[in-house]
Chain A
């Protein structure tokens, strides 16, 4: 079938199939190029799917669904679903089979998250999820890349084969011959090889760079997501705190205590103040279950900014900014806000704090703001000072720095002697990002001096810059492996291809040379056959071939062409095969009719050789038909003149006549060398081309040597094929 369709068609179809498969592969790789799933998303997914089942207490069904979800993922370390009513565990999964108590806090650097389960507005439970730390670069991406590379190189190989196929055609075609093994052919092959190597190197470079960009894009998205997660958690925290403080400050008890405290503080009634202050602490303590600690520092101010009550010294009046955009003014306007963190570092023992505070307006029953409650953020897992829970991978973390580029959050890799982390700089960290704008990827040195990828985002509400970062080494580890793999493939492929191609060419040239030599040998023997018929010596064609070679070389002809001439020369008198022996070997002068027959031998020769694609035979044909033509147009068979006569025939004419003159024939004695030279010289511009005669004259020493070397021996036999 392949034979019928033709090889070229088969190759084209194959290439098309490869392109289609590459496109399909590309589509597939795009469609599966999904974003990394975070622990937040997993927890929320379970929460959404399981809420109705938890509400109906259909725990069997819940177990089936969550287990099937877990089975489809390899990165889930544990899942715990807790019932809000009983606080009992209604579903538990652990990768290593251990039943563990999950407290909502991340353990180590696992990615953990706790999501509430809400059904029709009711909190009915919570789901806690822990995922394995992940390397941000997914290996699946490289499988797609490897597939792409394989297809790419197959296409290159196809291209190379097509080029060789075209070369083969070219070398066989008659119009623009590129002989196999010729310099032109070698140059073409080398050009193709260079093109191939260039294509593979350039292609490999682009693939590697594309891969790097893909990795960086994924890292950027992941780092942005970490910041987004933090923002989402903080917003959730703010709302939760707002609800709790709303509940607390709106209670009749709090309202009464607050009024009494205000009264007592202005009227200096210490006993009343003391009792109400204790009552206030009791009220706050009752909200312990909601995460508000009675031990936390707080500060309550009236609308004039006077302190009404205070606990602890972490937050003082001096820390409260009362400018237009401050949390104090915000609270007076009815808004609950976070206050920028206050950082403290104790020298000895080295301790580190960067607590966050929350402001909430105190309303009266008529909806007027009558005070502001500033409180330290309770110890909820995802708040600012416990930022380490956002750590991911082997080196990824979220840190916060202030306007001075000083890190005010706990860092994952603190200095050995202190929990302090030091400074960290980035170019974009102070840009005011709008909420939707998530910041761009940068490559900077982190607080340890390690090169890191970071995404930074300024937070107006905290007066800090959040930086999500990961070591570039961790991110690019897979990339470097991929890069090394591609380079290895390129080198191996190129080396193999070059070696096999060159070796094939070498073997082909060897075989071709042998074939050419064999062909030339046959051609020479044919020439000898004609000479044998004429004067029974092979030395004539040997000598005249050399004479022609010497003249052509000294005339400045191309070396390959001279070689061709040397090999074609023996066939100049092949047409004599068609001349009867009695004419060729007649001792006396030929009659007019005999001359007529004799003069037909160029045409006989041309017909014997015929019209061939082969360059040698084409030249042999030219020589055979025109070697008796004369420069002045008086020759035969056609009487053409000057440049109308092929140059090969013009050279052969001189060589043939000179050797004929200096050789003995049946019908004449041999001329002396000098006489023959004189005749040639005298025929310049008549029989022979003048410039070639001049070349002949310059070549006499070499011609003389040849003549001396190849003397006629009538007894010589032609043997060997």
Chain B
């Protein structure tokens, strides 16, 4: 009798699998070191929840693949990845990126802050003063407009944890981070942040060949916002709904 019960279950599973196999699969590029609260390895975080929900709405599967930041941009440029989540349009201005990118509606807002080691300063430093000092940044990350002149002097680091360690060890004077990302690490490394120096609307960046999907994705985002699901997800990972 038990075996007879298994038959409809297996049939259902196979049919689901068959249905699933017809859904379009989009490869999503995420940084291989993880970036909580946005995502972590293997698959957790607000980006993952948002994308999974969009996938359900639109009828596509997002397959998460982890690479160094530079490689994600490189693979996106050559259509070997389909989606790069949490990107502001101002960050992807290289010719190939500009030509090959389309963006969804914003999924959240990110505040960028400057991180520094307070032991190097008698008082909280002014952001303009900090910008004149040495900077560490992640290889493959875009620079803010105000910092682009200093790019040649930057030290390029592979992971954000390494970067925080560099600040702690006074190997460089400051770095720019999303406030969401750096806040949980400040006390552990004995670092502080300035006030927000910029705010960006973060969107899903897709390659041009998925232009047809964009309206449905945007609709799904709007629906998530209107139903309060988006706020719920943000609250879950950020502790606030904005």
Contacts and interface: CB of A to CB of B under 8 A. Distances in A.
Interface extent on B, as a size class?
10 to 19
Interface in A42-101: 55-58, 60, 83, 85-86
B74 A57 contact: yes
A57 B70 CA distance: 6
A385 B225 CA distance: 66
B139 A58 contact: yes
Given A60-B156, A85-B80, A55 B68 contact: yes
Interface in B33-86: 68, 70-71, 74-75, 77-78, 80
A56 B68 contact: yes
Interface in B122-156: 139-140, 156
Nearest to A86: B78
Contact of B156 (A55, A58, A85): A58
A17 to B, nearest CB: 50
Interface extent on A, as a size class?
under 10
Contacts of B140: 57
B139 A85 contact: no
Contacts of A56: 68, 70-71, 139, 158
Contacts of B80: 85
Interface string A472-500: 00000000000000000000000000000
A138 to B, nearest CB: 40
A57 B78 contact: no
B73 to A, nearest CB: 8
B78 A85 contact: yes
A60 B74 CA distance: 16
A169 to B, nearest CB: 73
B75 A57 contact: no
A433 to B, nearest CB: 45
Contacts of A85: 74-75, 78, 80
A60 B152 CA distance: 11
Contacts of A57: 68, 70-71, 74, 139-140
Given A57-B139, A60-B156, A86 B71 contact: no
B71 A55 contact: yes
Contacts of B68: 55-57
A83 B80 CA distance: 14
Interface in A240-283: none
Contacts of A86: 74, 77-78
Interface string A127-171: 000000000000000000000000000000000000000000000
Contacts of A83: 74
Interface string B10-53: 00000000000000000000000000000000000000000000
Which of A55, A57, A60, A85 has the most chain B CB atoms closer than 10 A to its own CB?
A: A57
A60 B156 CA distance: 10
Contacts of B156: 58, 60
Contacts of A60: 156
Interface in A18-57: 55-57
A310 B158 CA distance: 53
Contacts of B139: 56-58
B15 to A, nearest CB: 21
A379 B2 CA distance: 59
A86 B75 CA distance: 9
A57 B158 CA distance: 10
Interface string B151-188: 00000101000000000000000000000000000000
Contacts of A55: 68, 71
A58 B158 contact: yes
A56 B156 CA distance: 11
B141 to A, nearest CB: 12
A85 B78 CA distance: 7
Contacts of B77: 86
A590 B21 CA distance: 155
Nearest to B78: A85
A60 B68 CA distance: 16
A122 to B, nearest CB: 9
A277 to B, nearest CB: 31
A701 B78 CA distance: 128
A55 B70 CA distance: 9
A55 B74 CA distance: 11
B41 to A, nearest CB: 14
A86 B100 CA distance: 15
A218 to B, nearest CB: 42
Interface of A: 55-58, 60, 83, 85-86
26 contacts: A55-B68, A55-B71, A56-B68, A56-B70, A56-B71, A56-B139, A56-B158, A57-B68, A57-B70, A57-B71, A57-B74, A57-B139, A57-B140, A58-B70, A58-B139, A58-B156, A58-B158, A60-B156, A83-B74, A85-B74, A85-B75, A85-B78, A85-B80, A86-B74, A86-B77, A86-B78
Given A56-B139, A86-B78, 5 more contacts: A57-B70, A83-B74, A85-B75, A85-B78, A85-B80
- 8 A-B pairs closest in CB distance: A57-B70, A56-B68, A85-B78, A56-B158, A58-B139, A85-B74, A86-B78, A57-B71
